[in-house]
A and B are shown apart, each in its own frame.
Chain A
Amino acid sequence: MLVSRQAFYLYSPSAVANRGSWTYLAPFRERNLTFTRKQLILSMDLLLPYIACLMLALFVYLALRPSPLTMRIGMIVAGVAAAGWLVGLVTGAVAESGDSTHDIFFLIFSLSAIGSAIRMVTHDRPIYCALHFVVVVIASAGLLLLLEAEFMAFALIIVYAGAILITYMFVLMLANQADNPDELSTQTTFDQLPREPASAVAVGFLMLCLVTGTVIRGSSSLPAPNNPTDQWNTLAHLQKQFESSVLDLDPSFMWPPVASDQGNLIRHDGDGAFIISSDGVRLLLDPELLPQNTQQVGWSLVNDYPVSLELAGVILLMAMFGAAVLARRSIELTDQEKRAAMSAHDAKISNERGTDS
């Protein structure tokens, strides 16, 4: 059975966007091969990732079902196997970078994120779901630290684990009730029964297979990264910091530096970034002078996305109004009830005066 040309489009978003280029198909067309569907699946290096996805799906499905102890043990074994497989896969991908510390931390953070995410989805007590989500947030903040996004990592912990999760905990404790108020346990039956677990897991992991396939096969056709030297431009915009750091480096430097023909104050060559003073002195800039992560993010936020920043503020304001309006409840009292409340209040006040004197 031949696979139509259209079927290939499924695997490469860039090919969908740019139908003329056939970027992904180039190696196949050169060899002038026609693939049957079976060959297509087996010939790819995707078999292992697909099996890992399937095992993870099986694990999530088993974890969703209330089960006796033996089943639970089998579930744990399946989960460990699936996780190990996945980890081997991911480390195989990461190992090329050659940084073993990075790999170990990546393993720890990603495993704890996935594990507590599954536990969060399957746990039958909502409070524990929220607590497991805190672990997910902390683990993904660790992943962001590995990605050198320090500001976002700590903002994630402060805003997510500190503010949003506390709101969830408040509402959970406010609203959670047992079926029978006399029971000590606060567990409810609807928390223990999953709704359509088989079809949900099937849909979810079909999507995961698609994502994994696209990521693994498409990572070779990614656009080229920006030039890292672009980061120096931010320093040229931060004038006071630029001037003071340059004068710290070389107090005899004649400020300001001369711009190049393209209008750049900071120029680059094989040695690195340098500036040229008005009297022709060439000063090589230390990479230590590059703006920190927080400065870069802040500059990108206000320079590239000013309108979005304003809109985010408006969204937060509207959410605050909406929450206040929604949660407000006016209490309708009849005249008789008002009079009763008034007289009870009066009686209480006079009673307090009586006890004082």
Chain B
Amino acid sequence: MMTEFGSSALAGYLIISGILFVIGMIGFFVRRNLIVMFLCTELMFQGAAIAFVAIGRYLFDYSGQVMVIFILTVAAAEAALALALVVLLHRQRNTLDAEVYTELAE
């Protein structure tokens, strides 16, 4: 049986998840290494997962945890595709520097 979980406790968890999300976002903007940029998106997924579970816990609703299962799915799919792309790009230019690939858009 679940115990009491007030809205002030929920606020603590939501702030932690917001901090993790924002740090991941800053990392995505700031880093130049392609692989580390994708790692930072995983950090943003972590923040989202904590927020889902905390709100589900507050509402006595297990859908929050089900959403985390879908987040895991999307993260795994993203990791597989992004890393395949990174391997492909690395073969062409022999570097992981994101700046080098800005010409690809032209």
Do these two chains really belong together in a complex?
A: yes
- B-binding residues in A (CB < 8 A): 49, 56, 60, 64, 89-91, 93-94, 96-97, 106, 110, 113-114, 117-118, 120-121, 126, 129-130, 133, 136-137, 140, 143-144, 147-149, 151-152, 155-156, 159-160, 163-164, 167-168, 171-172, 174-177, 188, 190-191, 193-197, 199-201, 203-205, 207-208, 211-212, 215-216, 219-220, 222-223, 225-228, 230-231, 287, 290, 293, 296-297, 299-301, 304-305, 308, 312, 315-316, 318-320, 322-324, 326-327, 329
Given A97-B5, A148-B2, answer yes or no on A315-B60 (Cβ-Cβ < 8 Å): no
Cβ contact of B27, chosen from A120, A155, A205, A327, cutoff 8 A: A120
Are B15's CB and A300's CB within 8 A?
Answer: no
| Bound: A171/B10 CA distance, A | 37
* Max chain B Cβ within 10 angstroms of own Cβ: one of A194, A316, A323: A323
In-complex Cβ contact of B8 among A97, A121, A208 (8 A) = A97
The residue from A60, A149, A177, A299 contacting B26, defined by CB atoms under 8 A apart: A60
Interface pair B58/A60, CB less than 8 Å apart:
no
CB pair A323–B53 under 8 Å, yes or no, is no
Q: How far is the CB of B102 from chain A (nearest CB, A)?
A: 11
By a beta-carbon cutoff of 8 Å, the part of chain B in contact with chain A is 1-16, 18-27, 29-33, 35-36, 38-40, 42-43, 46, 49-50, 53-54, 56-63, 65-66, 68-70, 72-81, 83-88, 90-91, 94-97, 99
Provide 19 A-B residue pairs closer than 8 Å at the C-beta atoms, listed in order of the A residue. Answer: A93-B9, A97-B5, A114-B19, A136-B20, A140-B49, A149-B56, A149-B57, A167-B83, A191-B32, A191-B36, A194-B32, A211-B18, A212-B18, A215-B11, A219-B11, A223-B59, A225-B60, A301-B69, A326-B87
Cβ A133 vs Cβ B39 within 8 A:
yes
User: Which chain A positions have C-beta within 8 A of B12?
Assistant: 90-91, 93-94, 106, 110
Which of A147, A163, A200, A300 is the most central at the interface, judged by chain B CB atoms within 10 Å of its CB? A147
Q: What's the least CB distance linking A157 to chain B, in Å?
A: 11
Q: A300, B66: Cβ atoms under 8 Å?
A: yes
- Which residue of the partner chain, among A56, A222, A290, contacts B1 with CB atoms under 8 Å? A290
A215–B81 CB distance below 8 A: no
Interface of B is mostly: helix
For the complex with contacts A147-B57, A297-B62, A312-B73, 10 further pairs of A-B residues with Cβ separation under 8 Å are A96-B8, A97-B5, A160-B72, A164-B42, A177-B94, A194-B32, A195-B30, A220-B7, A312-B69, A315-B77
* Cβ–Cβ contact B58 & A97, under 8 A: no
B1 and A296 within 8 A (CB): no
Q: Is the CB of A60 within 8 A of B23?
A: yes
Contact A121 B30, beta carbon cutoff 8 Å: yes
**How far, in whole Å, are A315 and B86 apart by their CA atoms in the complex?**
20
**Given A151-B65, A203-B29, A164:B60 Cβ within 8 A:** no
A221 to chain B, nearest CB (A): 9
Other-chain residue from B21, B81, B90 in contact with A175 (beta carbon distance below 8 A): B90
Majority SS at the chain A contact face? helix
- B5, B14, B43, B53: the one contacting A152 at CB < 8 Å is B53
Name the B residues within 8 Å of A126 (CB-CB): 33, 35-36, 39
B10 to chain A: closest CB distance in Å? 6
